[in-house]
Chains A and B, each alone.
Chain A
């Protein structure tokens, strides 16, 4: 009798646990759908690339200092280069506390965006990540990258003091948290969450019907 009760209790605990947490997860997913469909968060012309009418819409949450994000950025842009009409990418800032230059590099990126130089600046920033990520003060490296990308440095320095820059980053981070982003790079491909470059590649290959995997032409370790 007692033995049956022990087994019975075990079953109740397992079934009850699965039911409770599956229910909570379901409720959480409903909230995520509301966030994903929030039109206010989808108007970022300076940080968007590709065809706005494309069937594959990607929102990319990255930390500019994260090595996997650099790989993901290059991979995604390789796909975009090969399929310019089929993809639409929007980039969101998601600097992580573990990266000391994550926040400052995002601020530089936002200020470059305000001069319409976001993508040339980003391409160089990502390609030279190894160089500035190791520095105590990465500003000289950011300045060199900015200059090369055609950014007006006087304007950019003034922009860095603007509180709205921090606000723009915080807004993206808030959106990421609401979408349950906790690691980078995280992507939302047609609202479906994909984390990391391996999953990104598999998902894009599936959507684009690619059988031969895309190779990243510029590894993050190599300077252009």
Chain B
């Protein structure tokens, strides 16, 4: 092995666990949020969706019923490190959508007391949630950029890749 490869292995050993912790933290957050919303009556989340006033009534219903499951499974796959590249892309898209929705609510000065994004877990006002979402987006982009070397550390993706070989 040349020195460049050694340095790369060292880097992966050094950064890999950190990326793993970050991956598990973000994934767990979405798993918990998803479960909280799923276990509550869907009407509670429907009320939150209605508050943002961007969808027609029928779509609001579908989003309120389906979205918590998406959060749960994306979070679970991120924790387990399954289909990481796709899951992280989906996360980036999802968080960007959150940012867009919250921004339009702020621009339109909608009378939202809290964001409602976390189900009954905790409530946060929409300004704080916007900051949190921007931080989450940056962290997810970091995870996506390091997906091959670092984010896949201790992941099922890597396990299946090794099994394939």
Contacts and interface: CB of A to CB of B under 8 A. Distances in A.
The size class of the interface chain A forms with chain B is: 20 to 34
Contacts of A186: 43-44
A196 B123 contact: no
B114 A98 contact: yes
- B contacts with A: majority SS: helix
A13 interface: yes
Given A9-B156, A202-B57, A183 B39 contact: no
B149 to A, nearest CB: 20
A21 B50 contact: no
A5 interface: yes
B35 A21 contact: yes
A202 to B, nearest CB: 7
A24 B35 CA distance: 11
Given A6-B82, A98-B123, A198 B50 contact: yes
B160 A194 contact: no
A9 B82 contact: yes
A194 B43 contact: yes
Interface in B24-50: 35, 38-41, 43-44, 46-48, 50
A202 B57 CA distance: 10
Contacts of B156: 6, 9
A193 interface: yes
B163 interface: yes
Given A10-B82, A13-B76, A183-B44, A3 B160 contact: yes
A49 B102 CA distance: 39
A195 B46 contact: yes
B43 A195 contact: yes
Given A98-B113, A183-B44, A17 B160 contact: no
Contacts of A9: 82, 156
Nearest to B161: A2
Given A2-B164, A98-B123, A196-B47, A17 B39 contact: no
22 contacts: A1-B163, A2-B161, A2-B163, A3-B160, A6-B156, A13-B73, A13-B77, A14-B73, A17-B69, A66-B113, A67-B111, A68-B111, A98-B114, A180-B44, A182-B119, A183-B47, A193-B41, A193-B43, A196-B47, A196-B51, A198-B50, A199-B43
Interface of B: 35, 38-41, 43-44, 46-48, 50-51, 57, 69, 72-73, 76-77, 80, 82-83, 111, 113-114, 116, 119-120, 123, 156, 160-161, 163-164
Given A6-B83, A17-B73, A67-B113, 4 more contacts: A13-B80, A21-B38, A186-B44, A199-B47
